[in-house]
Copies of this chain bind each other. A is one copy, B any other.
Amino acid sequence: MKLYDSKMAPNPRRTRIFLAEKGISVPTEQVDMMAKEHFTPEYTAINPLQRMPALVLDDGLVITESIAICRYFEALQPEPPLFGVGAEEIALVEMWQRRAENNFFAPVAAVFRHLHPAMKELEVPQVPAWAEANRPRVIWFLEFIDRELANREFIAGDRFSMADITMLAATDFMKLARIQIPAGATNVKRWHAAVSARPSAKA
């Protein structure tokens, strides 16, 4: 199999962190998104949506979407569990993964993609008003999650999960969007330091 990966982008990073937590190693090929390599006919043949990452299996089957690739490996190798075990934990991990993705990762991405000069040719059209509408949502979510983290170690409970991976990738993505963690969000800062210290964060 081969994983098409992009070092700089937050979605491929989610898959890399997941694989590192599992201790799984996959041959990779870098696709340079700033050089628009994901728009080439070769990569478009692999993923018509021209998004990263993509996993090509030995039988030729293509799996795209970072979370779908993670679920593939979770099914092949359940330990350590990163999508929960049992109905309640499975639901909570999915709930927090989606809350983090839709209410935090997506707004951070909107601020970056619709304001940053480097995205002018990649996000067409850029809509600066949409970026500005999303900026306060980023802060709102961090203050919400700060209250939640007063009572537990990780985003979805007492165990590191896919929800932490999404939150970590999005939190570090804030640097490109030029947004900072609110000074008073001490629980977020404690959580961020802890997950950043895991070896997987360097993946």
Contacts and interface: CB of A to CB of B under 8 A. Distances in A.
Interface of A: 48-49, 57, 61, 63-65, 67-69, 71-73, 75-76, 86-88, 90-92, 94-95, 98-99, 103, 125, 127, 129-130, 133, 144
A151 B172 CA distance: 41
A123 to B, nearest CB: 9
Number of copies: 2
B69 A91 contact: yes
The 6 closest A-B pairs by CB, nearest first: A75-B87, A72-B91, A68-B95, A68-B94, A130-B130, A65-B98
A90 B77 CA distance: 13
7 contacts: A49-B99, A57-B88, A64-B95, A67-B94, A71-B91, A75-B86, A127-B130
Contacts of A68: 91-92, 94-95, 98
A90 B72 contact: yes
A69 B94 CA distance: 9
Given A72-B87, A144-B48, A99 B64 contact: yes
A65 B94 contact: yes
Given A48-B144, A64-B99, A127-B130, 18 more contacts: A49-B99, A61-B88, A64-B95, A65-B94, A65-B95, A65-B99, A68-B91, A72-B88, A72-B90, A72-B91, A73-B87, A75-B86, A75-B87, A75-B90, A125-B133, A127-B127, A129-B129, A130-B130
Contacts of A64: 95, 99
Nearest to A72: B91
Nearest to A123: B133
Contacts of A125: 129, 133
A91 B64 CA distance: 9
A129 to B, nearest CB: 5
A65 to B, nearest CB: 4
Contacts of A75: 86-87, 90-91
A87 B76 contact: yes
